[in-house]
Amino acid sequence: MNDGIKNKVVIIAGASSGIGEATVRRLAADGAKLVIGARREERLKALAESLPQADIRYRATDVAVAADMEALAQTALDAHGRIDAIFNNAGVMPTANLSEKRFEEWKRMLDINVMGVLHGIAAVLPTMKAQLSGHILATDSVAGHVVYPGSAVYCGTKFAVRAIMEGLRQEERESGIRSTIISPGLVDTELYTTIADKEFGAQLSRAAKIPGIGLTPDDVAGAVAYALGAPASVAISEILMRPTNQAI
């Protein structure tokens, strides 16, 4: 058990599968008090019920809706009177060349990948500023550090998250609030089902299951736990992690 995590009140958005689910399981094992949200409430219920010894509350949450994130934060406050950390993990990854003009996909990516993070920050920041402590984490991506064809908008959303989280660090460092981005490469999750080109998405999904080609959600959850368990005097601003054989 990580003593730096035990009894911390942690909100996880995008908790119903993949990295979010793995992080719920990891932090529950470390003794955190968890408040979890995602759009699929039945998944959240099943996850909470699978961890009967853990302190978990859940709420159906769409990160693209600011009021939903405010309600998730209020759930934590009502239950525990404080918020120690939030992990903004929800994301989608449609891919296509800009020439295809997929306006609705672009908007959805911006709403979830960027506005979702901003909604999470806004929901907890007043509480954390009053506490003079807190930790805000977000799932970024290697795509927030490099750009490649077919993913200009997706990469743009992840570059935006990097900038937002660095701005947050600079603005709130004197309030005792830390920020961390976790930037994984290929991970074996459901993210690839959001790709319109189903064959390409299936190829990525198959590749992600190969050790050294893809990471596991547990790998990423371990990085979240490492950052979250650091002493209050230490800010882990960024963790960039790739499968050993990933080229970019």
pLDDT per residue over 223-234, tens digit each?
A: 999 999 999 999
pLDDT at 192 over 80: no
- Structure tokens belonging to residue 230: 């650091």
2 in a structural domain: no
Which domain covers residue 15, as residue numbers? 9-241
Q: Does residue 18 surpass a pLDDT of 80?
A: yes
- Percent of the chain surpassing pLDDT 90: 84
Rounded distance between C-alpha atoms, residue 40 and residue 222, angstroms = 24
148 is known as an active-site residue: no
pLDDT reported for residue 199: 73
* 163, part of any domain: yes
pLDDT of 21 > 90? The answer is yes
Whole-angstrom Cα distance, residue 54 to residue 7? 11
Q: Which of 58, 148, 154, 226 is catalytic?
A: 154
Asked if 6 and 77 touch (Cβ cutoff 8 Å), the reply is no
Per-residue pLDDT at 106: 96
Distance CA(39)–CA(228), nearest Å, equals: 25
Residue 62 zone, left/alpha/beta (φ > 0; ψ -120 to 50; rest): beta
- Write out pLDDT tens, residues 76-128: 999 999 999 999 999 998 888 999 999 999 999 999 999 999 999 999 999 99
pLDDT, residue 211, reads 83
In a domain, 126, yes or no: yes
CATH number at residue 119: 3.40.50.720
Between 70 and 200, the more confident residue is 70
**Alpha-carbon Rg of the chain, whole angstroms?**
17
Query: What does the pLDDT read at residue 5?
Result: 97
pLDDT in the model for residue 25: 98
What pLDDT score does 147 carry? 96
Quickly state the pLDDT bin for 165 (edges 50, 70, 90): very high
Q: How confident is the model at residue 2 (pLDDT cuts 50, 70, 90)?
A: confident
- Do the domain assignments include residue 4? no
Say how far apart CA 231 and CA 175 lie, in whole Å: 16
- Alpha carbons 77 and 86: distance in angstroms, whole number: 12
Q: Is residue 248 part of a domain?
A: no
Q: Average pLDDT, whole number, for the chain?
A: 94
227 part of a folded domain = yes
Q: Rounded distance, CA 172 to CA 175, Å? A: 5
pTM: 0.94
Q: How many domains does the chain have?
A: 1
Diameter over CA atoms, the chain: 51
Structure-model confidence comparison of residues 182 and 206, the more confident one: 182
**CB-CB contact of 187 with 205 (8 Å):** no
- Do the domain assignments include residue 1? no
Which pLDDT belongs to residue 1?
65
* Strand residues in 24-133 grouped as ranges (E): 33-38, 55-60, 85-88
Q: How far apart are CA 221 and CA 21, in angstroms?
A: 9
Does residue 35 lie in a domain region?
A: yes
State the average pLDDT over residues 213-218: 91
Average pLDDT on 134-159 reads 96
**DSSP secondary-structure letter at 47?**
H
